[in-house]
Structure 1
């Protein structure tokens, strides 16, 4: 198995550079905000982070492809490509809520092999690389993380991002059926819910609409933590347009419910 230690070290440097920008611009009075064609917001912090990360990658990995939410880029089915989401949770960032993060993934021939999620205002950073496990840094230090052992939906804790998106993109009824089958549900949203599954704090996270940059690092984070990650059809991919993270034990049962229309 190839080693991605140098790439993981670089991903940490990229996250450090991103954190320096995002923390400086968080709650800034002169923050500039625009709306993209899909009506989602983008700030000058988003573009500044992506430009800074791209510049570092151009210097350190000139032969690799780059694809980012704000500046676009190459595909990722062949070769090595870095996939970037400069600020996942931009709406939270805009409202002064601390739940946002920079997401970085290295994808090789269509598969995520390095993942980095840095949430500086939560004082948390999650990372993983192929064959080296999943890790969390918080106030207590660095520790290896793993998914929960919950094996029944009736004991499971499930999260999503926005309930209304299920109506538009999949099936609200199917998601509500899943919450009814589970013990507890919340909407932690975005990156955080998938990281919580990797930590073993919750057991399932489901999203009816995502882009590749929203979840590319989650694929490697979840699998290295011992869990499962797929789209809602069950295909193991970060590029299916929707996503399900689980502790592995519950994956098929959750998919069975979510596939009902």
Structure 2
């Protein structure tokens, strides 16, 4: 194991505590759901999970920075507020729309960034009985938990005609002016499905599909995915080919993840915005 073994162990502890909270609230008759300013839903489970993770990180890593989807940025009083140090990134429930409707495809996403680079990632989906994790240099794993994980790796598919192509939805690509390019990709691929959220990236890391694309993601949506995809042998960038997470941490970014062999082809095909 490399120098992030203790951080990965802590991330698993955070995920265990998150799973206990979210599982208890999943399909609860008294689940409280509100709309955020951007009109996306937030449940009492989202906020409870993030509060628990924040409390644990304050106990175990008080000098590290923290960015969570629900409560924003937090730094130790003596730490400079910049992304160059160690910073934990938390999405308490990725797939809240699924969560509030009783669809079991949702997960807690936990990442550690060191000097801006994602070096630890844990994705825990308790309703699926599945967890994925990785730390820099140590490979990617999946299973019901760290005591029963198996190493995973991306596929060896080299042609789009043989590839399983995954995306979240088409509306975002339409807003980005790339709907025609997306439809062409779907037509040329062996198979296309919209699994959405974290799940497509984890299936990619396992080799069950070959491409996953989204037009806009926040840092907390993508940070935990990066170590898992890359340690499994895949490639994950934005549309410009910059390693994810790319761009200003405060803005959304496009994300293209592949098994590596297909990456250049997918980027070239998506780099075709429609004429206005």
Fold match (TM-score > 0.5): yes
8 Å CA contact 1:156, 1:202 repeated in 2? yes
1:146-161, aligned counterparts within 5 Å?
A: 146-161=153-168
Q: Distance in 1 between matches of 2:89 and 2:55?
A: 14
Q: Distance in 1 between matches of 2:190 and 2:83?
A: 38
Q: Which residue of 2 aligns with 1:57?
A: 57
Q: Which residue of 2 aligns with 1:166?
A: 173
Q: Which residue of 1 aligns with 2:110?
A: 104
> Which sections of structure 2, spanning at least 5 residues, go unmatched?
75-80, 248-252
Q: Distance in 1 between matches of 2:35 and 2:82?
A: 26
Q: Distance in 2 between matches of 1:18 and 1:135?
A: 19
1:249 corresponds to which of 246, 253, 261: 261
SS at match of 2:217: coil
8 Å CA contact 1:69, 1:213 repeated in 2? yes
8 Å CA contact 2:215, 2:255 repeated in 1? yes
State the 4+ residue runs in structure 1 displaced beyond 6 angstroms: none
Q: Quickly say closer, same or farther: Cα 1:230–1:103, change in 2 above 3 A.
A: same
> Which sections of structure 1, spanning at least 5 residues, go unmatched?
none
1:176-187, aligned counterparts within 5 Å?
A: 176-187=183-194
User: How big is the shift at 1:2?
Assistant: 5.2
2:93 corresponds to which of 72, 83, 87: 87
SS at match of 2:119: strand
Asked if residue 260 in structure 1 is aligned to residue 272 in structure 2, the reply is yes
User: How big is the shift at 1:13?
Assistant: 0.1
8 Å CA contact 1:170, 1:208 repeated in 2? no
TM-score normalised by length of structure 2 = 0.92
Q: Distance in 1 between matches of 2:135 and 2:54?
A: 20
User: How big is the shift at 1:105?
Assistant: 0.2
Moved more, 75-84 or 188-197: 75-84
Q: Which residue of 2 aligns with 1:72?
A: 72
Q: Quickly say closer, same or farther: Cα 1:87–1:218, change in 2 above 3 A.
A: same
Asked if residue 238 in structure 1 is aligned to residue 250 in structure 2, the reply is no
User: How big is the shift at 1:179?
Assistant: 1.2
Matched positions, count: 261
Asked if residue 193 in structure 1 is aligned to residue 200 in structure 2, the reply is yes
